Amino acid sequence: MIDNLVRDNVKKLVPYEVKVYEDMVKLDANENNQLTGVFNKEIGKALLDLKINEYPDSDSSQLRRYLAEKLQISWEELVLGCGSDQLITMIINAFVGKGDRILTFSPTFGMYKIGGDLVEATTVSFPLKKDFSLDYDNFMDLVKEDKWKVIFLTNPNNPTGGIIPRQEIINIIETANAIVVVDEAYYEFYGESVIDLVGKYPNLIVLRTLSKAYGLAGARVGYGAACRSLMEVLYKVKPPYNVSNLSQLAARVCLENQELMEKSVEEIISQRNEMTRELTRVAEIKVYKSYANFLLCKIDGAEDLYNYLLENKVLVRYFGEEGPLANCLRITIGTREENQLVMELINEYFKND
């Protein structure tokens, strides 16, 4: 009976499953292990004054005002979400319907296509080049076609770590007759942004998250920036009370201690550069230049290396044997000790292979 009630497009979807492993060095989800437990004491103190019996500030007004000061934009140009995933869903719900078209590239963050599938839209994924850089001229030819509702650009890109230069993004925004969403989830590890342009371009939305650099993945806090006319539309589809009291409090504590985040990001970038050099010395590994907090590597027989790391209590991300990411592993940059362990295991694996 239930099967007859489920929408046809939902039947085709595959649930997003995350395997749970105990006692692992966890380097598979691009979390900031440098900040493990760092904010817990301050968050704990702040919890003593929290009225958990009351519903949260539905629009996260205080947090938006505080964040706006840091970003030097108007608080009315911000919306908060339960992670940037929820903001992606809101954007698609607001602008995309059955039969509409979404443009992005591939490989990239999978939630754009999943969101499109849920509303029965068509997602066109423009293939990146072999080195995972964007073929800008040919992509622009697609952008010029007047058939897109939303264009998603991830910068830096997940899972490749590559970037699109700021001027190329501006050209896309100015050319497109569509909403252009620039997902800057990994902005802090790169430093270049277009968030300062949201007041200039009425079709630009910039997404960010506190899950990566700020080490707040467990609280699920993301934010979007756009001009006020776009915000009026997004607030029509924003669920009420969508960011909990606990998450708003944790976000405020993290933002008030931004210098700790910045220090950890400096260390992650330093470790990323060091790991890039060390992985490049391994003849069997092709490592791609990254501007995020992870490295993407292509290895013949990547599954065997993945399993070897797993057997030694290190979890990384394996992308399977098919598609553009065939035989690729994505390794999150962890603490110095974690990174050293990964390199020791990789060198040991290929020495004994």
* pLDDT, tens only, 203-237: 999 999 999 999 999 999 999 999 999 999 999 99
Query: pLDDT for 142-163, tens place per residue?
Result: 999 989 999 999 999 999 999 9
Angle at 324 between CA 320 and CA 330, to 5 degrees: 55
> Would you state the pLDDT for residue 77?
98
Which residue's structure tokens are 């968030």? 195
Residues 148 and 252 in one domain: yes
Instruction: Determine phi and psi for 270, rounding to 5 degrees.
Output: -60, -45
Q: Environment class of residue 120 by beta-carbon count within 10 Å: exposed (0-12), middle (13-18) or buried (19+)?
A: middle
How far, in Å, CA of 333 to CA of 259, rounded?
Answer: 19
pLDDT of residue 189 exceeding 90, the answer is yes
Q: Which of 257, 287, 302 is the last residue of a domain?
A: 257
Q: How many residues does this entry show for the chain?
A: 353
Q: From CA 162, how far away is CA 151, in angstroms rounded?
A: 18
Residues 114 and 124 in one domain: yes
Question: Per-residue confidence at 353, pLDDT binned at 50, 70, 90?
Answer: low
> Beta strand pairing status for 285-287 and 222-226?
unpaired
Band of pLDDT at residue 344, cut at 50, 70 and 90: very high
| Residue 22 in this model has a pLDDT that exceeds 90 | no
Cα 117 from Cα 92, distance rounded (Å): 10
- Name the token pair of 293: 């907090």
Q: In the Cβ-directed half-sphere of 79, how many Cα atoms lie within 13 Å? A: 31
Beta strands in the chain (DSSP E): 25-26, 78-81, 101-106, 122-127, 150-154, 179-183, 204-209, 222-226, 285-287, 294-299, 314-315, 317-318, 328-332
In angstroms, the CA 256 to CA 254 distance is 5
| 207: three-class secondary structure by DSSP | strand
Contact 63, 248 (CB under 8 A): yes
Cα separation, 69 vs 205, in Å, equals: 18
* 142 and 12 fall within a common domain: no
**95 half-sphere exposure, CB direction, 13 A CA radius:** 28
* Residue of 103, 59, 110 whose CA lies nearest to 80: 59
- Decide if pLDDT at 278 tops 90: yes
Scan for tokens 């296509």, then name that residue: 113
CA distances from 268 to 162, 262, 278, 345 (A): 17, 10, 15, 20
- State the pLDDT at residue 149: 98
Q: Are residues 191 and 269 in the same domain?
A: no
* pLDDT, the chain, mean: 96
| Amino acid, res. 135 | D
Specify whether 63 is located in the same domain as 144: yes
Query: How far is Cα 118 from Cα 98, in angstroms, rounded to an integer?
Result: 9
Last residue of a domain, one of 257, 284, 304: 257
43 pLDDT higher than 70: yes
User: Confidence band (pLDDT; 50, 70, 90) for 17?
Assistant: confident
Clarify whether residues 65 and 126 are in a common domain: yes
Same domain for 275 and 347: yes
Query: What gap in Å lies between CA 332 and CA 330, rounded to an integer?
Result: 7
Are both 237 and 289 inside the same structural domain?
no
Instruction: Give residue 332's domain range.
Output: 2-36+259-352
SS3 54: coil
Sign of CA dihedral 15, 21, 22, 23: negative
Q: For the chain, what is the domain count?
A: 2
Same domain for 209 and 72: yes
Pairing of strands 328-332, 317-318: antiparallel
**DSSP string spanning 258-298?**
HHHHHHHHHHHHHHHHHHHHHHHTSTTEEE---SSSEEEEE
Does 301 lie in the same domain as 163? no
Do 121 and 236 belong together in one domain? yes
Lowest mean pLDDT segment, chosen from 7-21, 107-121, 257-271, 296-310 = 7-21
The last residue of one of the domains, among 219, 236, 257, is 257
- One domain for residues 77 and 215: yes
